[in-house]
Each structure stands twice: as structure tokens, then as C-alpha cells.
Amino acid sequence: MPATSSPRSFSKPAALTTGLCLAALTAFAADKAADKSGSDMSGMDHSQMDHSGHSMDTTRDAEGRSLYGMKHKMDPAMTKELREKVALYKNYSDAEITLSMDMMGPEYAWYISPPDVKGEQGILILMHGFREQGDKIFRQQVQPMGDIFPTSMGVGMAMMMSDHIQVALDDLKAAGAKKIAVVPITSSGTNELYRQWLYIFGKQDTPEFASVPRVKTDAKLLFVKPPGDDPLVAEVLLDHANEISKDPKNEVVIIAGHGPSSAEDNAEELRVLEGLAKIVKQDGGFADVRGMTLQDDAPPAIRDANVKKMREVVEAATKKGQRVLVVTNLIGARTIQAKLRSDLKDLTYEFNAKGLVNHPNFMKWMGEAVREQFERNS
């Protein structure tokens, strides 16, 4: 039987998807409303915000996005630095690196709160991006938060620039934010993108990619940790496995992760996945659950070895008469799922390609994490 997959659409946004966490955030905001009554920010107009620290045009487009569609400017020094720091680029020419950068999604800022939403607590969401339509759907998912607190999204890899993050911070400042919860939309902290964000905020000494400018703000920044092995993530993976399960006791589940490039980081990522796998196996009653990574951005030989291991697990289970279910801890539904299908071509398995953001628990995790940061620093 050929591999099949479940629908890849995002779950429809609704205030209920955040569960009690949004109610708690709303109550927290209401409790703080009196603290803001003495400061009048009603005249603040985000569309006219002067991002004086930027030489580029930060005018918003029809969707409200700043810097959207701006082309990256590469130079020999930047390509040299990327070649030295990104293992995949080690043998790339300048032209090949430039082409790779051109193929990256756009980097932009997107302030999503209505003009009348003001407050001393703000939310900055950092994300790789899900392509244009996916970004719009994700924006709808987080809109309930944006209707409570000033909220801005800094979208993009941040490999060659940080201006989009600076603009996003400036927009929050314009709404009166003095304490900003910084929420990284990445499955774990063992990857290069997360550490590049840390560098941009001055939380790490060296960049993972290019030496882009670090952001500046007078606001107090409250950093949320990635979901990692949070029990809410285990629930997501279990639900996604159950959606394609028929007989758990005769099924093997593979939790497929993107995986960081370095061996050390990958070992830590595998530890996280194995912790999730234990919960899924225990609560789901499956014959076995394995956490595996592709190390998708590593040199081809490393990635190929991981694919070989995954194929061997699928083949061994199939020979034993067991069904194989594949789920992922990837954030979105359209990241490396297509490549994974190609990797497992001609094998028998069932694939639920949904990402973590497709499940209500992801918004629940975000809401609880933000509330916790605000309460700790109230």
C-alpha cells in the first residue's frame, strides 16, 4: 500500500483554540488596565511611525507588512562568512550562495494589533515563515493575542539581516510596550535559527550566520523558551498519530524531526524527541515509538545516512507485519514534508504531515508561556 497523508491545512483560528490561556491573558490585561490609565497613548499612529534607525523604506503594504519583498544585498564578505559558518555552503561558490539566499522566503515585520490596542505589555513573535499564504493563516491564528496585547511578527531566517526584527520592536514601542515577551516559533532550541535570534538580541556572543546588526530597544525583553519536550507537544504528536492509527499495539510510530546540522546539537535534539516518544508510546499504547532526525541542512552525506536509518526502521517494522506511522515535530505543514515523502519513496507507511501549529495545543502553549512571563515580571 502506498504512503498516504492527512490533510495539511491549518486549523481554523478561533479564540477557543487558545483555551483557558487566552482567558487568563485577557484577565491579566484587565488587571493591568488601571496601571495604564495615567498614560495617554491614543494618538499613536503606527502607519506613520518613524523608524529613524533604518535607511530602507519601512512603509506598510496593503496587508500591513513592512519590508515585505525587499531583496537581500549580498557582498563577498557576507558570502565568505556564510560559507565558513554553514556546513552546507562549504563548497558553494558566491553565486550559489547568493542563489540560495534569493530562494529564502521574505524577511519582514508585521504589526497585527488594531490601532486601539495599547499597553505596556507587548508580544514579539519570531518565525522562519510558512510562505505567504501560511503566514497569513498563522497571523489569523495569533490574532486573538493581538487583540489583547500589542503584537508584532518578525518573519524570516535572519541569516543576512535583522532590520525586520528591529522594525517589529519599534512598532511595539509605538504602542506603548515597555515589557515585551519574545516568542520563538521553532520546535526546539537546538538549531541555528534560534541561536541566530539569540545573537541578534545580544544573548549570544557570536552569530550562527552573517554578523547582522543587533537590535536595540528600551523595553524589557522577556524570552520564552521553545516548546521542545513540553507535554503539550507530546499531546499534539499523540493526536496526530491517532488520526492515522488503526491498531496501536501493532504499529510503530516515527517522530521525524528536521534536526540541526552539528552532531552535538543533533544528539540533544534526539534526546528531546526520545522524551516525547516515551510519552506517545505510553499514552498511545503503540508497539514502539522512535524519534529520528534528518539533519536536513547538513552536508548530503550526513543527511543521507539519517535517511538510510529511517528507511531501515520502516522496512524492519513492515517485515514484522507492523504498520508504520510517521508524524513530525515540525512547526508547519509545508517545511520538509515533501522531501520526507521522497526519502521514504516505495516504502509502506502512513504519514500525517501536520505541523505543531495545526493543533490547538500550539496556541495554548504560546498563551501559557506569554502569561507566565508577564506574571513573573509584573
What are the φ/ψ torsions at residue 196 (nearest 5 degrees)?
Answer: -65, -40
d(CA 184, CA 373): 14
For residues 13, 234, 326 and 309, what is the CA-based torsion angle, rounded to 10 degrees? 140
Q: pLDDT tens digit string along 199-233?
A: 999 999 999 999 999 999 999 999 999 999 999 99
- Paired residues of 132 in beta bridges: none
What are the φ/ψ torsions at residue 279 (nearest 5 degrees)?
Answer: -70, -45
Is the CATH number of domain 229-358 3.40.50.10480?
Answer: no
Q: pLDDT tens digit string along 37-75?
A: 433 333 344 444 444 444 567 888 988 899 998 877 788
Identify the band that residue 31 occupies on the pLDDT scale cut at 50, 70 and 90: low
255 to 35, 115, 269: CA distances (angstroms): 46, 42, 12
Q: pLDDT tens digit string along 320-343?
A: 999 999 999 999 877 789 999 999
Instruction: State pTM to two decimals.
Output: 0.84
Strands 220-223 and 151-155: unpaired
Cite the residue boundaries of each domain of the chain with CATH code 3.40.50.1400. 229-358
- Cα angle vertex 228, ends 235, 84, to 5°? 145
Query: What mean pLDDT, rounded, does the chain reach?
Result: 87
Q: Pick the closest to residue 82 from 58, 55, 100 (CA basis).
A: 100
Whether residue 180 contacts residue 169, with contact meaning beta carbons closer than 8 Å, is answered with yes
Helix H or strand E encompassing 141: helix 131-146
Q: Look up residue 55 and give its amino acid.
A: S
Q: pLDDT tens digit string along 5-30?
A: 333 333 333 333 344 455 556 555 55
